[in-house]
């Protein structure tokens, strides 16, 4: 029963109700060390999720290239009038005309913070024309800055970037005779992430390399929306497989666009993996 076809975002056999404000409620079963009862459902439509991104928002977007990228959520932002003048924090800005690359072509991204912009020539073109502000961050530094943001740290020191243009005007401190560059943490107004399976509470599992930046981003934003392949009943996921615990996740959206599903079925899971 659990994990079969989803109707209205819930697996077959799941019970639901409505609370006073019209939001669906889902039943949490009684289990060892987990009390049962009714909780407000985190499942929303992709249109509702897109409305959470307002003008000038800073948005973390998961993915390494297009793999592990929340393509359904990104597509929804194209038709949202509120999603404009965005600052994106992502490894790259999609690919030409794909993923975040589509938002770029529509002029919705004002600034991009990332580490691998050359995967999309449109980024370089718009940067040179002055249409896009870019902040280049080495890939390992990007991952650690996001993790630091989620952990509540004030920053960290790294050797990466010392002696390069990236260190110009920045704090460099000598530690044990070695120079280190100070990096501030990164946080966002909202994180759009991609996972494989979720339960109705919002616990998440990931699929192989599609995991990439997503778990760290889930900890480093005021609002977290997870796009998933499958939503199952609370208690159905093996706790040992849960990577992102439910308190980090505010909303769930069912994936409608899957990377390479026609050309290569194995890429159809969790944004390709």
Q: From start to end of the chain, where are the E strands?
A: 6-7, 10-11, 16-18, 24-28, 37-40, 58-61, 86-89, 109-114, 133-136, 156-158, 172-175, 178-183, 188-194, 197-199, 204-205, 221-228, 230-232, 251-254
CATH number of the domain where residue 151 is located? 3.40.1080.10
* pTM score: 0.84
210 DSSP assignment = G
| Structural domain count, the chain | 1
pLDDT at 207: 96
Q: Is there a domain that residue 12 lies in?
A: no
Q: Is there a domain that residue 208 lies in?
A: yes
Q: Is there a domain that residue 257 lies in?
A: yes
Q: Is there a domain that residue 204 lies in?
A: yes
Q: Is there a domain that residue 134 lies in?
A: yes
In angstroms, rounded to a whole number, what is the distance separating the alpha carbons of residues 182 and 167?
A: 9
Q: Is there a domain that residue 175 lies in?
A: yes
Q: Is there a domain that residue 18 lies in?
A: no
Q: Is there a domain that residue 8 lies in?
A: no
Query: Which structural domain, as residue segments, surrounds residue 143?
Result: 24-268
pLDDT at 69: 97
> Is there a contact between 107 and 131 (Cβ–Cβ < 8 Å)?
yes
Tens digit of pLDDT at every position of the chain (273 positions): 323 333 334 444 444 555 555 666 666 554 444 455 677 889 999 999 999 999 999 999 999 999 999 999 999 999 999 999 999 999 999 999 999 999 999 999 999 999 999 889 999 999 999 999 999 999 999 999 999 999 999 999 999 999 999 999 999 999 999 999 999 999 999 999 999 999 999 999 999 999 999 999 999 999 999 999 999 999 999 999 999 999 999 999 999 998 765 544 334 444 543
pLDDT at 267: 41
């Amino acid at each position: 029963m659990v994990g079969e076809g989803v109707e209205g975002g819930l697996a077959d056999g799941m019970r639901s109700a409505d609370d006073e404000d019209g939001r669906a409620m889902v039943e949490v079963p009684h289990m060892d060390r987990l009390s049962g009862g009714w909780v407000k459902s985190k499942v929303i439509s992709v249109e509702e999720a897109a409305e959470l991104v307002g003008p000038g928002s800073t948005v973390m977007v998961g993915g390494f290239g297009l793999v592990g990228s929340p393509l359904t959520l990104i597509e929804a932002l194209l038709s949202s009038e509120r999603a404009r003048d965005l600052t994106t924090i992502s490894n790259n800005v999609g690919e030409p005309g794909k993923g975040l690359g589509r938002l770029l072509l529509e002029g919705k991204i004002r600034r991009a913070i990332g580490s691998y912009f050359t995967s999309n020539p449109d980024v370089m073109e718009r940067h040179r024309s002055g249409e896009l502000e870019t902040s280049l961050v080495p890939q390992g530094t990007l991952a650690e800055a996001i993790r630091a943001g989620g952990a509540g740290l004030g920053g960290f020191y790294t050797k990466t970037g010392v002696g390069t243009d990236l260190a110009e005007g920045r704090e460099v401190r000598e530690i044990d005779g070695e120079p280190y560059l100070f990096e501030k943490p990164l946080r966002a107004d909202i994180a759009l992430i991609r996972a494989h399976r979720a339960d109705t509470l919002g616990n998440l599992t990931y699929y192989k390399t599609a995991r990439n930046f997503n778990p760290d981003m889930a900890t480093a934003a005021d609002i977290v929306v997870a796009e998933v392949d499958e939503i199952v009943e609370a208690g159905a996921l093996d706790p040992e497989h849960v990577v992102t615990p439910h308190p980090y996740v505010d909303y769930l959206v069912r994936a409608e666009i899957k990377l390479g599903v026609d050309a290569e079925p194995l890429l159809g899971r969790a944004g390709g993996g």
